Amino acid sequence: MNQENKIKTNPNINKLINKCELKLKDIYDEIDEICEFNSKKVLESFWNNHISEVHFNSTTGYGYGDIGRDAIEKVFADIFKAESALVRNQFISGSHALSTALFALLRPNDLLLSITGTPYDTLHEVIGIKENKSSLKSYGIIYDEIELKENDFNERKIIEYLKKHQVKVIEIQRSKGYSTRKSLTIEKVENIISKIKKVSPKTIIMVDNCYCEMVNKKEPIEIGADIVVGSLIKNLGGGMAPNGAYIVGKKELIELCAERLTLPGEGIEVGPSLGINRDFLKGIFFSPSVVKSALKTAVLTSCIFEELGYDVEPRYNEKRADIVQNIIFHKKENLIKYCEGIQMSSPIDANSLPIPCDMPGYDDQVIMAAGTFIQGSSIELSCDGPLREPFIAYQQGSLTYEYGKLAIMKALNHLMDWD
């Protein structure tokens, strides 16, 4: 092996990491406790739904009578405390699942309201914020949004709006996306849902739960959400699912989503699993532990960069809503260099350098470091960000804490020129 392909130990970095790990012991203990709670929930769901080897089998063609697919959806519904679930490899992404749900639930002249400000970039053309002939707007669906206030829901404005307008669907995006706001804790979401239900009980509350699953002990269905959407190449895929997404919630809403994904009259009954069942089951089984590793890696990153004088969000000792860690570099060159370091520390394509480029669904050039086993998997260690002020790195994932720590060591060497 060439010397350049070895992880070099650096006394400065080792001392810094050791200092942070001592400081983080109590936080790590709390993360371990949440992991144990969620592991128990997942294991009991496997028992309750009698998961056996026969559920690893798959179907082709139409996918009629796929007992493995059906069992997986029962497991997901059980874990989320939902009436029903749609868990499919036919979803190409979390954004695809969100789009499917929105088109399923809304009809011409219906009103969609986001109460977390402008949604993630990839939904702009879905909604019609950015013009597209296939958008919700093109079908006569009305959209409006209410910005957060001081990183929390603008409760007064939301309640006033609901008293004046008949809102069909409220969309809540828990994770920050490429914005500078904080991600929303389950407690904040629970509080606003309880207030909304009193004023507008018929409004459907949809939660975009990407990056947030298994971070806490509760999921949004348990605190009043009607429908919840997420990706399987994030938390709940556990690094095992090669693609796919899920929608969970009330039975009648899931049926509408299934008929939008497939076709009216067949809905949830069709859709071949094409050999995916084992990976989906392994993914959800490993997800509490993988999320634990991602959280510990994020907390360590936050602590290290605070010690070095950088702005970070969240801070290492803040309550977390998701697995995403922001490092605010304020300089384009530093953002690029750190992403290069993460790529160089990856198991796959470590000899490649990420280059900022235009990407579908994004207005700014984006740099993405992701030497992952699954393309675009953000439960594996990755780091990305748009090239716009204040030049924020959005780091997420790590299948194990040990690999995450090693990656940070190498990325710091590259960023700080401590070689």
pLDDT in tens, 346-361: 999 999 999 999 887 6
C-alpha gyration radius of the chain: 21
CA distance 90 to 379: 20
Q: What value does the mean pLDDT take over residues 363-385?
A: 93
One domain, residues 13 and 94:
no
Q: Which residues of 244-261 are buried (b: 16+ CB within 10 A; e: fewer)?
A: bbbbbbbeebbebbbbbb
One domain, residues 389 and 300:
yes
DSSP 149: B
User: Which pLDDT value is given to residue 2?
Assistant: 46
One domain, residues 24 and 63:
no
Look over the chain and give the mean of its residue pLDDT values, rounded to a whole number.
Answer: 95
User: Which pLDDT value is given to residue 389?
Assistant: 92
382 sits in which H/E element: strand 382-386
Cα–Cα–Cα angle for 357, 358, 363, rounded to 5 degrees: 130
Q: pLDDT tens across 10-47, in order?
A: 888 999 999 999 999 999 999 999 999 999 999 999 99
One domain, residues 116 and 252:
yes
- What one-character-per-residue DSSP string does 42-97 give? HHHHHHHTT--GGGG----TT-TT-HHHHHHHHHHHHHHT-SEEEEETT--SHHHH
Lowest mean per-residue pLDDT among 29-43, 223-237, 251-265, 402-416: 402-416
279 within some domain: no
CA distance 390 to 365: 14
CA distance 326 to 308: 14
280 within some domain: no
Count CB atoms within 10 A of the CB of residue 319: 11
- Measured between alpha carbons, how far is residue 240 from residues 83, 233, 278, 343, 377 in Å? 25, 8, 9, 20, 10
Domain that holds residue 82: 57-274
Q: Position of tokens 């009436």?
A: 83
One domain, residues 241 and 117:
yes
For the cut 80, the answer to whether the pLDDT of residue 8 exceeds it is no
Of 274, 295, 324, at which residue does a domain stop?
A: 274
154 within some domain: yes
CB 86 within 8 A of CB 96: no
44 within some domain: no
Percent residues over pLDDT 70 in the chain: 98
CA distance 222 to 208: 15
One domain, residues 269 and 330:
no
231 sits in which H/E element: strand 227-231
Q: Side chain identity at 302, as an amino acid letter?
A: S
Q: pLDDT tens across 93-142, in order?
A: 999 999 999 999 999 999 999 999 999 989 999 999 999 999 999 999 99
For the cut 80, the answer to whether the pLDDT of residue 414 exceeds it is yes
User: Which pLDDT value is given to residue 1?
Assistant: 34
Q: pLDDT tens across 297-339, in order?
A: 999 999 999 999 999 999 999 999 999 999 999 999 999 999 9
| pTM of the shown model | 0.95
For the cut 90, the answer to whether the pLDDT of residue 180 exceeds it is no
One domain, residues 247 and 137:
yes
46 within some domain: no
Whichever domain contains 396, its CATH number is 3.90.1150.60
CA distance 297 to 239: 15
One domain, residues 242 and 176:
yes
CA distance 298 to 296: 5
One domain, residues 17 and 76:
no
303 within some domain: yes
CA distance 193 to 170: 10
CA distance 321 to 344: 28
203 within some domain: yes
1 contacts: CB under 8 Å, gap ≥ 6: none
CA distance 410 to 412: 5
Q: pLDDT tens across 274-301, in order?
A: 999 999 999 999 999 999 999 999 999 9
Percent residues over pLDDT 90 in the chain: 93
Of 207, 240, 274, at which residue does a domain stop?
A: 274
> Quick check: helix, strand or coil at residue 130?
coil
Of 274, 306, 325, at which residue does a domain stop?
A: 274
One domain, residues 234 and 372:
no
User: Which pLDDT value is given to residue 418?
Assistant: 54
Q: pLDDT tens across 94-107, in order?
A: 999 999 999 999 99
Burial class of residue 112 (count of CB atoms within 10 Å of its CB; 0-12, 13-18, 19+): buried
CA distance 405 to 296: 9
One domain, residues 110 and 20:
no
47 within some domain: no
CB 412 within 8 A of CB 304: yes
Whichever domain contains 169, its CATH number is 3.40.640.10
- Measured between alpha carbons, how far is residue 224 from residues 218, 237, 367 in Å? 11, 24, 37
Question: For the range 379-383, what are the long-range contacts, defined as Cβ-Cβ under 8 Å and sequence gap of 24 or more?
Answer: 379/233, 379/234, 379/235, 379/237, 379/238, 379/239, 379/290, 379/291, 379/294, 379/323, 380/239, 381/297, 381/342, 381/345, 381/346, 381/407, 382/342, 383/338, 383/339, 383/342, 383/411
- Report the number of distinct structural domains present in the chain: 2
Q: What value does the mean pLDDT take over residues 219-240?
A: 98
Tell me the sheet residues that pair with 396.
382
One domain, residues 222 and 354:
no
Q: How confident is the model at residue 3 (pLDDT cuts 50, 70, 90)?
A: very low
